[in-house]
Amino acid sequence: MRTIHSEKHRLRAPQTELSGGRLVRPFECPERVEHILASIAQTGLGPVEPPVAHGLGPARAIHAPDYLDFLATVWERWTAAGYEGEALPTVWPSRRMGRKGAPKAIDGAIGWYALAGETAICGGTWEAAQAAADVAATATDIVLGGARAAFALCRPPGHHAAQDMYGGYCFINNAAVAAQRMRDAGAARVAVLDVDFHHGNGTQAIFEDRADVLFLSLHGDPAHEFPHFLGGADETGVGAGEGFTANYPLPPGTGYAAWAEALEAALARVAAFGADALVVSLGVDTFKGDPISSFRLESADFADYGARIARLGLPTLFVMEGGYAVAEIGVNVVNVLTGFEGA
Ligand code: OKP
Ligand code: ZN
């Protein structure tokens, strides 16, 4: 399997994450990618290639223009305001404040576009996010060109980013870029299967009112876990998209037997939908050793579920999302990909 990867991910190197009332070193860190590359090399998964630059077209196909303008300028505006720390929101258009639209001041604008407050923006974030979208678009084209599968080693991740919201470490929704690109290239029906521990709220928001993209997510129940405000089993799609969103919230402590049962239900939905292609939002924070998650998958389970996904027989793009047990992230990711290839 070919992997697409950009060294520009290193430009996203924030020093801070707001966690439990402290500023800590971010869980979503550059070394994650180095461990994945080492495991790819060690197992001989296949070549690792740089992306083709696509400009902003693929991101514009799913994100609002004002949001992309905000991402392009937020760091400059933050530093111009005289702030010395990394950019974090402190105020939001919350439930009792009905303003529609970003205010002028950067303090207000950042709260307008943030869906959560843990994710610090630093210089280089925008360039890295654009490179991750290029990675997704380039790997999509490999699958559209007839490959059985490809791996988009995106960083920063994307599945929490909505049309005009960033957060949960995500800025451009790389999986949504891929799914939309498949549609635009003529795939009539695309399924996005999100196996990251966290609900893919951004991907759901982008596609919830559409019948051409089926979104499915297995995740920690939002009653207990981030992103807290989306991901319930009762969310099944909106308007023309009714019936094309499927959530499988699972309780804290879920192990592989229960997780795999939910996966089989989701895979049956993908097959019934008649998808022409599959995008997998691949987060390995379901691992038992993950520092911010609560599922209990073992490394061997990742290979098992990679094989189960392969049995759909669909052209498949894997898009990297989360996974914060850094020492094991490479083995867990590559186990999914080799499990898929060996099926
Ligand atoms: C990004 B991705 C846990 C707080 C969680 C944010 C998690 C973002 C996950 N106490 N904070 O889906 O892996
Ligand atoms: Zn996650």
CB of 157 within 6 A of ligand 1: the answer is: yes
Q: What number does the ligand 1 atom closest to the CA of 20 have? A: 10
**Which is it for strands 245-250 and 2-4: parallel, antiparallel or unpaired?**
unpaired
Ligand 1 site-directed mutation target among 226, 281, 287, most atoms within 8 Å of CB: 226
Give the residue numbers marked as catalytic: 160
Burial grade of 52 (CB within 10 A; 0-12, 13-18, 19 or more):
exposed
CB of 287 within 6 A of ligand 1: the answer is: no
For 173-198, what is the mean pLDDT?
Answer: 99
CB of 301 within 6 A of ligand 1: the answer is: no
Q: Tens digit of pLDDT for each residue in 272-314? A: 999 999 999 999 999 999 999 999 999 999 999 999 999 999 9
Q: DSSP per residue over 200-247, as a string?
A: -HHHHHHHTT-SSEEEEEEEE-TTTSTT-SS--TT----GGGTTSEEE
Q: What number does the ligand 1 atom closest to the CA of 159 have? A: 12
Q: Tens digit of pLDDT for each residue in 3-42? A: 999 999 999 999 999 999 999 999 999 999 999 999 999 9
The interaxial angle of helices 326-342 and 31-43, nearest 10 deg, is 40
**Which is it for strands 190-194 and 22-24: parallel, antiparallel or unpaired?**
unpaired
Gap between the Cα atoms of 340 and 343, Å rounded: 6
Q: Tens digit of pLDDT for each residue in 202-247? A: 999 999 999 999 999 999 999 999 999 999 999 999 999 999 999 9
